[in-house]
Amino acid sequence: MAPSETSWDRIAHTRATQKKTHVSFPQLKYPSLRDSGLRDPVQWLSGKALDDGAEGLWRVHDKLYDLTSFVEKHPGGEEWLELTKGTDITEAFESHHLNPIVEKILCKYYVREAKTPRNSPFTFKEDGFYKTLKKEVYQELKKNQKDDSKKTNLITDGLFISLLCSSAFACWSQNYWLIQFWYTVSSICLALLIVACHNFIHRKTNWRMFLFNMSMWSYRDFRVSHVLSHHLYTNTLMDLEISALEPILLFNPRKDKPLYARLGFITEFCFFPFIFIISFAKRFFSIFFREGFLKNHYRWHDLLGFLLPLWMWLVTGSPFTKILVTWLWIVCTGSLLFYLIGVNAAHHHPDAIKDGDQPRDETPDWGAHQVEALLDRKDINGNLFTVVTLFGEHALHHLFPTLDHAVLKNLHPLFIEVCEKYKANYRTSTQFQMVIGQIKETMRTHFKTIDN
């Protein structure tokens, strides 16, 4: 029998304080390296390797595979398998492939059974919500040949060109108000471009994903923090998009949340502007204090962010200081806007399950958990531009991250049908309600039970 509200509150608080297990999933040990060091993607992957029982190989469910000879052949690109060596890739494997042929290919690389239970609460039962939906989506996509993805490409390319033009105008202009105008346009274009690029980062290697680095952040890091962590373990203790912001911003409910964290919806305005630059600095300085970082994690595309000031200088010939100041303003304002869009998009609302809340099931279906951990915004989902630039169609995007955002709306009727069949807890909201929800969520200290 489920514990009453008071007993859940007490149990959850004890688990949260002891930090030995997850609060919502006590069968899992507290993630190694979660609360120490840089809280960056490399550390997250190292901690996961310690906990996953993959024995230096790749784990899928309870089997270990040696994919060394497959890495270069992987149609989705080498990077995914290179990054995840030594970890459990079950969630990534299940959610990134619709075509059942991948399971046959995987069999060829089987080595042995894993010795420990999986370090994840999620299940993928053949007749469960996610696998059923996946099979139906695969059939639906085969029927529906209309390819709208060109529109997403156009939106992304348009934002990139607008960023180049407006940043140059911001340097060219002499009039104070014109400078302010073009700088604002440029910052908005940068923030929206970075969100739009995220559509491409989830997929096989492609040139548009590199545009993400115009922010000074790294798409490679984002592949870990967003694609492999946030998307696969949404709102759990393994979600790096939550732990990386701690202890300044604490989205998971905790009884002992300090006042500064409860006021996170205000303090976030002070540090969101610097996250793009800080992310660049973290990667750059890691070269000097992390063994092997230069060879294993630093790449030529880490320098792409400097193309924007170089472009501004080449086309306008403005003095160095003017270029530097204008560019830094654009990057910092872009960072603020990007993060404000992100934290108000789907997950940070009291109705979305977080670690600490009582789960309906301690071993939930992965897809059902995704639906439970977010709210879709109906006013954003109606238009492709807002979907692409404001993280719209969030539920379907989480469930099928490799599909272009333009395709998702066609899958909605089928998605709702399967949600109803499996009683998945799909909810919608509006952008305004999400902003209010984010404020409440930063202040939330109580643990929700399944009845409230």
| Interaction between residue 96 and ligand HEM (CB under 6 A) | yes
Which residues, in sequence order, are CB contacts of 317 under 8 Å at separation 6+? none
| Interaction between residue 106 and ligand HEM (CB under 6 A) | yes
| Interaction between residue 135 and ligand HEM (CB under 6 A) | no
Q: Which residues of 108-128 are buried (b: 16+ CB within 10 A; e: fewer)?
A: ebeeeebeeebbbbbbbeeeb
| Residue pointed to by tokens 């680095």 | 213
Which residues, in sequence order, are CB contacts of 281 under 8 Å at separation 6+? none
- Scanning residues 306 to 365, which ones bind ligand HEM (CB under 6 A)? none
| Interaction between residue 409 and ligand HEM (CB under 6 A) | no
Q: Return the H-helix or E-strand segment holding 58.
A: strand 58-60
Minimum Å gap between C-beta 68 and ligand HEM is: 11
Minimum Å gap between C-beta 438 and ligand HEM is: 29
Minimum Å gap between C-beta 148 and ligand HEM is: 15
CA distances from 177 to 187, 330, 434 (A): 15, 15, 33
* Sole window of 102-110, 210-218, 279-287, 424-432 interacting with ligand HEM (rule: CB under 6 A): 102-110
Closest residue by beta carbon to ligand HEM: 76
Out of 49, 92, 168, 331, name the contact with ligand HEM by CB under 6 A.
Answer: 92
Out of 74, 282, 299, 322, name the contact with ligand HEM by CB under 6 A.
Answer: 74
Q: Tell me the C-alpha distance between 60 and 54, whole Å.
A: 9
Minimum Å gap between C-beta 100 and ligand HEM is: 9
Out of 43, 84, 236, 381, name the contact with ligand HEM by CB under 6 A.
Answer: 84
Taking CB under 6 A as the rule, which mask of x and - marks residues 18-57 in contact with ligand HEM? ----------------------------------------
Query: Between residues 78 and 361, which has the closer beta carbon with respect to ligand HEM?
Result: 78
Q: Tell me the C-alpha distance between 216 and 214, whole Å.
A: 5
| Interaction between residue 215 and ligand HEM (CB under 6 A) | no
Rounded to a whole number of angstroms, the CA Rg of the chain reads 22
Which of the 8 DSSP states describes residue 108?
Answer: T
Q: How far is CA 91 from the centre of its chain?
A: 14
Out of 203, 255, 262, 290, name the contact with ligand HEM by CB under 6 A.
Answer: 203
Q: Of 27, 33, 32, which is closest to residue 15 (Cα–Cα)?
A: 27
| Interaction between residue 99 and ligand HEM (CB under 6 A) | yes
Which residues, in sequence order, are CB contacts of 43 under 8 Å at separation 6+? 33, 36, 37
| Interaction between residue 67 and ligand HEM (CB under 6 A) | yes
Minimum Å gap between C-beta 80 and ligand HEM is: 4
Which of the 8 DSSP states describes residue 302?
Answer: G
Strand, helix or coil at 20? coil
Cα separation of the two ends of the chain: 16
Out of 30, 50, 70, 341, name the contact with ligand HEM by CB under 6 A.
Answer: 70
Out of 3, 26, 53, 76, name the contact with ligand HEM by CB under 6 A.
Answer: 76
Q: Are 245 and 342 in contact (CB under 8 A)?
A: no
| Interaction between residue 105 and ligand HEM (CB under 6 A) | yes
Q: Evaluate the CA torsion angle 289, 243, 83, 205 in order and state its sign.
A: negative
* Sole window of 77-85, 115-123, 169-177, 429-437 interacting with ligand HEM (rule: CB under 6 A): 77-85
* Sole window of 71-79, 307-315, 327-335, 365-373 interacting with ligand HEM (rule: CB under 6 A): 71-79
Count the site residues for ligand HEM by CB under 6 A.
21
Minimum Å gap between C-beta 102 and ligand HEM is: 4
Q: Evaluate the CA torsion angle 127, 133, 137, 140 in order and state its sign.
A: positive
Q: Tell me the C-alpha distance between 235 and 371, whole Å.
A: 11
- φ/ψ region of 39 (left if φ > 0, alpha if ψ in -120 to 50, else beta) reads left
Query: Between residues 61 and 299, which has the closer beta carbon with respect to ligand HEM?
Result: 61
- Scanning residues 108 to 127, which ones bind ligand HEM (CB under 6 A)? 109
List interacting residues with ligand HEM (CB under 6 A): 67, 70, 74-76, 80-81, 84, 89, 92-93, 96-97, 99, 102, 105-106, 109, 203-204, 402
